Structure 1
């Protein structure tokens, strides 16, 4: 019943009123659809500012490295300096017998071991014959067994020397060392007999080695005359 009345009321409206309502409804603004603008520009990389800041140090470092490599290349390309070889030191030659205190002589003939023998300076013919193995008394009759030897001479034992053989060189007798001489060597000195020779040996045994030739004056039996004859024939080493 109420629905019927509502419809009736609506139908009973004034036409003017109805037209006014329609005009009002037509003036309502319908919102237009607007598209949203989207920025499609790609974002700038985050690392680009950092790369810009690092560009200058990288360029400087590369320049330094290139310059160092060029310098090394120049140094390597240079030829090595030639170093002259060391020159040998000058050798001063001296007489062998004087430098070493020894001499070399040749012993040939009737000896067990003929050939070269090395002897101390001041050795005698008897020492050379003994070093060659010895010889009989008959074979040594022609030899002066007490003669002092010189470096480089040759001794003929039991055989005559060849005609072309030059006479043995005569060298100045070596001085006798008071600290090493035997009683026989001291006895061979002029004016020194067996008794005086033994006194010399006893003196150096009790007091030690001689330090000067003039100490011979302290030996009993050696006066100024005898000392003047001995001082040039003896030495102290």
Structure 2
């Protein structure tokens, strides 16, 4: 038997295509977006309408211990901190670490050298500290200084020979410039302590090594003294002699 619905279904039009999904905002979402846009517009218009108004600042609640502190504008561009020059003989570990190129290890070396020697007579003596080279010394001179010793000038010692403006010994003096140079083979502890870069520890080591070998025959003998390297040896050769 023929299907009575088959003939009729052939004449029906095809089903329409489904409608595309359309996104729509809820009432609450529309209200929220409108509020945000209004705030953005107001934030851009107000500074133009009132250019003389002070900049807005983030306020921090004050306590009794902080009420006298100045107000900080947290939105302002940070200003680089200016490094104040410091006295090398008074600088603390923190002061030294704050300097460019000086870390904790270098600061400890500088303090150890200062403690051993007593004080720095000039910033140039930093060149004797292990790890301080010519370039780093040049940079440190911008931030460090050494105050001259206060009080009356020290009295002349037998090892001191006055030098005139021409660089020579004044007339009538029986001493020569060579007589004022300390001989490491005869120097006492006090005389060694007058040498730049030589503190109590190094002076004792030099005397002990001299006693052990009898006398210094050449500058290379000093390299056997613990802690004396090429740089410190070069400094000793400027101010002392071996006879």
> What TM-score, normalized by structure 1, do the two folds share?
0.30
| Larger RCO: 1 or 2 (CA < 8 Å, sep 6+) | 2
In the superposition, the TM-score normalised over structure 2's length comes to 0.29
Larger strand proportion, structure 1 or 2? 1
